[in-house]
Amino acid sequence: MSRVMPRYALKIEYDGAPFAGWQRQSGLPTVQGALEVALAALEEGVPSVAAAGRTDAGVHATGQVAQCDMARDWDPFRLSEALNWHLKPAPVAVVACARVADDWHARFSAIERRYTYRVICRRAPLVHQRGQAWHLRHHLDVAAMQAGAAHLVGRHDFTTFRAALCQAASPVKSLDEITIAESATPNGREIAFCLRARSFLHNQVRSIVGTLERVGAGAWAPEDVAHALAACDRAACGPVAPPDGLFLTGVGYPFDVFG
């Protein structure tokens, strides 16, 4: 009878700029690929890792969660330290590690995902935040965007805000929360769009933010968002926001995995 391999949950942050996304792809740098190379340096034959969500090229994470099955019974702290050593110099870090039950799954056990999209409005080009936010040179009306976003909260058919190549079985999703907050910084106005749901469609967050940007810029009225949603037509969507400003900030489970 084969021995069950100990399973570990990993909380991971990464800069998505140099990667072709999370998912392993032949001949391309990916976050999953970097993590699996680091795991292979610790043990031979480590099975493929699974993540709570597959982020696209250029998308960042501060709270991605993945799982790995190891042959050895590692102390979680030592495993995270060893992985961080072997991940260098890739912009990927394991910020927490925990032993979990053998039937726990990073993707299927999750009950919510949280994303934040950052926009910085200023005339000057971005320097320190380049690649970490969507740079806009024009003003955005936050109140108008909040009014537009209100039409999207709840359970809807999000076909309009779904990528054409999305592989989800259904376009119907429940969007639990959208908050839009503005803060003044010494070098520009930052606007953060925070979205929370059990799961998201491919490009859903970026499609929503791009559409709300049109409302904030005055090109759309807030009620136009409701019309776009009701159309159930990808052509009714506003421009898709670039990946630079998108961060996977957290994944929720029925209990605190890393507590």
Active-site residues: which are they? 56
Collect all residues with Cβ–Cβ distance below 8 Å to 156 and sequence separation of at least 6: 172, 173, 175, 229
- Please give the C-alpha separations between residue 233 and each of 55, 187, 223, 248, in angstroms, as whole numbers: 24, 38, 16, 26
d(CA 10, CA 63): 10
- Please give the C-alpha separations between residue 60 and each of 148, 183, 196, 240, in angstroms, as whole numbers: 26, 21, 16, 17
Of 199, 184, 79, 202, nearest to 142 by C-alpha is 184
The DSSP result for 101-119, as a single string, is -TT--TTTT--EEEEEEEE
**In contact, 221 and 212? CB cutoff 8 Å:** no
Burial-class residue 85 by CB neighbours within 10 Å (0-12, 13-18, 19+): exposed
CA 21-245-237 angle, to 5 degrees, is 90
